[in-house]
Structure 1
């Protein structure tokens, strides 16, 4: 069993500016700070040093487990370590994987930037998979809710970033 998430983030900027933002460590750090994570580490590498030809983004963050249901907190403890890895194969296409080290689940999918009339839609499609009998569906729904909140924060910070 798995849960599918599709979400669009809209920016009043060309795709090249959105790509530059998404591959900027300072933007990713600002999103993490605004999301309220306990701590984070952001690493961005370009192919041959040229970010226009592709990039690898790695975000490692630790979130508090406060406020999540007790059945889930028993599985993760007081903190949740999350590793998000993005492989931008072009300035508009990205493969994403999100893991929680040592836990039986992950997210994977794609991000696609589509520009139309100077506006860019960041189209996110992810599949959430948890391999824990009996509670997998509940945990997948919980993760989906957390992910959507995080994407809303990213969109807010992104719009502010692009307006600077």
Structure 2
């Protein structure tokens, strides 16, 4: 299942958006806002590459037929690898999301671009749930959870920029 989500950051530059993406305290704050039961955030900042890894245990807020497969919680690992900034501040990277012990994953790209009103973060990915017969029914539910998480992060970022 293809996933495409855009988060707008009015009044922010691509560099400002990237500054919160690479900020482990901000990413931990987002985990709290997502009601993560447990989480660990690490940022490996090299000269030409930044890798962000977020491991979090989340309540399985999904329909009962999915909870029977996952249990009451899911352990999610998110790994983002970002390249260097272009002249206009834009950046591109990759994202891999896996759910521990489940045949579900998403591989995709992330990009930060300047816009007329600020900046945007574009996430595109290929979500797969490899469960015979019901995988295609589960994918939209997993996609909803991913989009909800992206929106929580976007709202937290917008609030941070509004605070100045």
TM, length-normalised to structure 2: 0.91
Shift in Å at residue 118 of structure 1?
A: 5.8
* From 4, 15, 28, the counterpart of 2:2: 4
Q: Does 1:23 align with 2:22?
A: yes
| Equivalent-residue separation in structure 1 for 2:115 and 2:58 (angstroms) | 36
Given that 1:87 and 1:95 are in contact with CA atoms closer than 8 Å, whether structure 2 keeps it comes out as yes
2:54 corresponds to: 59
1:153 corresponds to: 152
Given that 2:44 and 2:51 are in contact with CA atoms closer than 8 Å, whether structure 1 keeps it comes out as yes
Given that 1:14 and 1:118 are in contact with CA atoms closer than 8 Å, whether structure 2 keeps it comes out as no
Given that 2:110 and 2:121 are in contact with CA atoms closer than 8 Å, whether structure 1 keeps it comes out as yes
| Equivalent-residue separation in structure 2 for 1:139 and 1:89 (angstroms) | 32
Q: Runs in 1 of length 4+ with deviation above 6 angstroms?
A: none
Given that 1:57 and 1:87 are in contact with CA atoms closer than 8 Å, whether structure 2 keeps it comes out as yes
Shift in Å at residue 116 of structure 1?
A: 2.7
1:14 corresponds to: 13
Q: Deviations over 1:40-98 (max 9, x none)?
A: 10000111xx4xx3200000000112x42222111111210000000012241110000
1:107-126 superposed matches below 5 A: 107-117=106-116, 119-126=118-125
1:88 corresponds to: 82
1:43 corresponds to: 42
Unaligned residue ranges in structure 2 (runs of 5+): 86-90
TM, length-normalised to structure 1: 0.91
Q: Secondary structure of 1:10's partner?
A: strand
Given that 2:7 and 2:120 are in contact with CA atoms closer than 8 Å, whether structure 1 keeps it comes out as yes
* From 54, 61, 66, the counterpart of 1:72: 66
